[in-house]
Amino acid sequence: MPQQPSGEPPSTFATVTGDTLVVADLSPRRRRPAGPPREDGPGRGTSRGPGRGPSVRAPYRRLFDVPGARAFTLGNLLARLPMGMFSVSAVIMIAGSRGSYALAGAVTATGLAATAVVAPWTARLVDRHGQARVAVPATVTAALGSLALLLCVHYDAPAWTLFAAYAATATTPNTGGLSRARWAHLLAGDAEALHTANSFEQAVDELCFMLGPVLAAFLCGALFPEAGTLTGAVLLVTGVLLFAAQRATEPPVRRGRGPAGGSPLRAPGMAPLLLAFLAVGAVFGAMEIVTIAFADARGHRPAAGAILALQAAGSCAAGLLYGALRPGGPAARRFPWCVAAMTALMTLPLLAASLTGSLAVLAGALLVAGMATAPTMITGMTVVQERTPEGRLNEGMTLAVTGLLGGIACGSAAGGWVVERASAAAGFAVPVAAGALALAVSATGAVRARRGRGK
């Protein structure tokens, strides 16, 4: 049947039938070069092209005019929110029942390590067999692992069962990667629209990791200790089922034959890019643990969550604004500049903590520092998509996320080590050092790529 959003003139979508031209409304210049321009109203055309007005909301409005986009986005939002809930819920649940934060931290660290190993294999299966066929059983397995953890804690099972149960949650699919893969399929050939989609997805990541811990802490405190884990499991399964049900927008399975048999790890330029993601993850992990320690040292540990939420809020806002802009030049060339900006802004929390010792000043510094995070991640993910061989997109993006998770673990350990041996204020030097490492790796990779093209 013809796909026609409400409020649009019928002639706009006269040639859009089925799912073959689902992005015609987003990029009429490319899909229908011989047809009439889209009627966006007087005064809306600018130098950017027909129908591209100055409004920040316009690119996102056109993005969700794509048939089926709103439906799979809603399901993905429900599925992604628990990503920020599970670890916090597990810590509160285990520490409250067993009286040991060390045990709670060890269990969640084990789950993180298991995810780093299992997630790329899950993504590879998605690329080979399709999103719905793999994501649904993988999600059910992960939800059963969460419920098993809940029961083991509730019934005071041996400690080793907690590790085994939480490790089973490693099969949770990379829902953000699944959504980005759908956008890449739907918006193929339209780099500007794909940039907007990647920006939206990064903003969603920031929003979920900002709201998830808050929701988990509220549920566990207001209801019962297991409420966060139980709610997260229900949201995850419900969201993935809704997402997988949107078969019209699901990318087709492609048997791509990229470099070195199609392995994303061996694709040109991918290894240094993943190392850069590892270092960027260390920035995030160190900043979180050091901020909590800084607030705790001043007797305001509960305020740490709100302060970190400000950093995520700054990143979310910057991501949405970045998606409405049209940055020039290749993403691979822009990535080192984004990392450089992030590294420079990470010095603000260090200065605020060292010179003032004020939580209020630190909160403002983190708000500003967070504004470079989303543009860096958006650009980096775009480069990952460009360098990943055809048919392996989910695997490539999951490898990037795995690098981030590994970096977060390393950054948390390094930040905690500096806090214990020096001070919480000195710990803010760790994110700066990690950012500098990411800058060195990304800049070196960019130089080598340019030299390789020049040969």
Q: Give the model confidence (pLDDT) of 19-50 as tens digits.
A: 333 333 333 333 333 333 333 433 333 334 43
Q: What are the tens digits of pLDDT across the range 394-410?
A: 777 778 888 887 888 78
Residue 144 has pLDDT above 50, yes or no: yes
Burial of 174 per CB tally in 10 Å (0-12, 13-18, 19+): buried
423: Cβ contacts below 8 Å, ≥ 6 apart: 297
User: Would you say domain 257-455 falls under CATH 1.20.1250.20?
Assistant: yes
Question: Which of 202, 173, 197, 199 lies closest to 186, judged by CA?
Answer: 197
CB 431 within 8 A of CB 286: yes
Residue 1 has pLDDT above 90, yes or no: no
Q: Three-class SS of residue 420?
A: helix
Structural domain spans, the chain = 72-197+212-253, 257-455
Per-residue exposure over 309-338, b if at least 16 CB sit within 10 Å of its own CB, e if not? bbbbbbbbbbbbebbbeeeeeebbebbbbb
119: Cβ contacts below 8 Å, ≥ 6 apart: 170, 172, 174, 398, 401, 402
- pTM attached to this predicted model: 0.68
Same fold, 72-197+212-253 and 257-455: yes
pLDDT at 3: 39
Please give the radius of gyration of the chain, using alpha carbons only, rounded to the nearest integer: 22
Q: What are the tens digits of pLDDT across the range 283-334?
A: 988 888 788 788 878 877 667 777 877 888 888 888 778 877 777 778 888 8
User: Bridge-partner residues for 49, per DSSP?
Assistant: 46
Q: For residue 323, give the amino acid letter.
A: G
CB hemisphere CA count around 327 (13 angstroms):
22
pLDDT at 49: 40
* DSSP conformational letter for 9: -
Choose between 264 and 382: higher pLDDT. 382
Q: How far apart are CA 58 and CA 49, in angstroms?
A: 13
Question: Which of 371, 111, 358, 78 lies closest to 231, judged by CA?
Answer: 78
Confidence of residue 96 (pLDDT cuts 50, 70, 90): confident
pLDDT at 261: 45
Q: What are the tens digits of pLDDT across the range 169-184?
A: 888 888 888 888 888 8
Q: What are the tens digits of pLDDT across the range 239-279?
A: 999 988 888 888 887 654 444 346 777 777 788 888 998 99
Task: Determine the average pLDDT of the residues in 124-147.
Answer: 88
CB 276 within 8 A of CB 445: yes
Question: Which of 197, 327, 278 lies closest to 445, judged by CA?
Answer: 278
pLDDT at 433: 94
Q: How far apart are CA 391 and CA 271, in angstroms?
A: 18
230: Cβ contacts below 8 Å, ≥ 6 apart: 147, 150
Residue 125 has pLDDT above 80, yes or no: yes
pLDDT at 449: 62
Residue 57 has pLDDT above 70, yes or no: no
Residue 440 has pLDDT above 80, yes or no: yes
For residue 188, the tally of other CB atoms under 10 A from its CB is 12
User: Would you say domain 72-197+212-253 falls under CATH 1.20.1250?
Assistant: yes
